[in-house]
């Protein structure tokens, strides 16, 4: 079997990675919504590895970002300049600022697992990802719905 490269693009998935690392700001770091469980991305990558797809987008924000960057990259840069830092801060009590970092040495906490403190806000499914995997069925359903719409429009005259 030959090796095929796959690109999977999606929003930052919530998990333990957000708790790692040294931080100098007082607020807790938080992923920018919408947030997806890591299993959503894993399912998309697994599907892409077993089908002939070179690129897979996970979640509608990935589609907005990639298509938007191709159409009007200046708009995305402007938006991120205004919202990027504040959008990644979580309200609540200030975080511990002298948190143990992992820049030079790994943090010895055992296996933290894939799930973390943002489980309650993370989506377990992505309609966009499902639609990407089932494009033929989605196209057929759209064609049927369009045909029914045209028939009704012609029949009501």
Averaged confidence pLDDT in the chain:
76
pLDDT given at position 139: 94
Query: What pTM did the predictor assign?
Result: 0.66
Q: Extract the tokens encoding 5.
A: 């490269």
Instruction: Report the C-alpha gap between 76 and 62 in whole angstroms.
Output: 12
CB 58 within 8 A of CB 36: yes
Question: pLDDT tens-digit profile of 108-118?
Answer: 666 667 777 77
Reported as type and span, the H/E element at residue 8 is strand 7-9
Instruction: Report the C-alpha gap between 92 and 43 in whole angstroms.
Output: 33
For the chain, what are the domain ranges? Answer: 7-155
| Whether residue 85 has pLDDT greater than 90 | no
Question: pLDDT tens-digit profile of 13-33?
Answer: 544 454 555 566 666 677 777
């Amino acid at each position: 079997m030959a090796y095929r490269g796959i690109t999977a693009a999606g929003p930052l998935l919530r998990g333990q990675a957000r708790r790692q690392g040294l931080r100098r700001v007082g607020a807790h770091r938080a992923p920018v919504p919408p947030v997806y469980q890591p299993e959503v991305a894993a399912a998309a990558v697994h599907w892409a590895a077993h089908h002939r797809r070179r690129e897979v987008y996970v979640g509608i924000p990935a589609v907005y970002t990639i298509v938007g960057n191709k159409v009007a990259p200046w708009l995305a840069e402007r938006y991120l300049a205004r919202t990027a830092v504040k959008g990644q801060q979580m309200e609540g009590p200030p975080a511990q600022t002298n948190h143990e970092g992992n820049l030079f040495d790994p943090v010895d906490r055992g296996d933290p697992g894939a799930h973390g403190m943002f489980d309650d806000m993370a989506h377990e499914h992505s309609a966009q990802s499902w639609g990407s995997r089932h494009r033929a069925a989605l196209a057929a359903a759209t064609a049927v719905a369009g045909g029914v719409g045209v028939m009704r429009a012609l029949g009501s005259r």
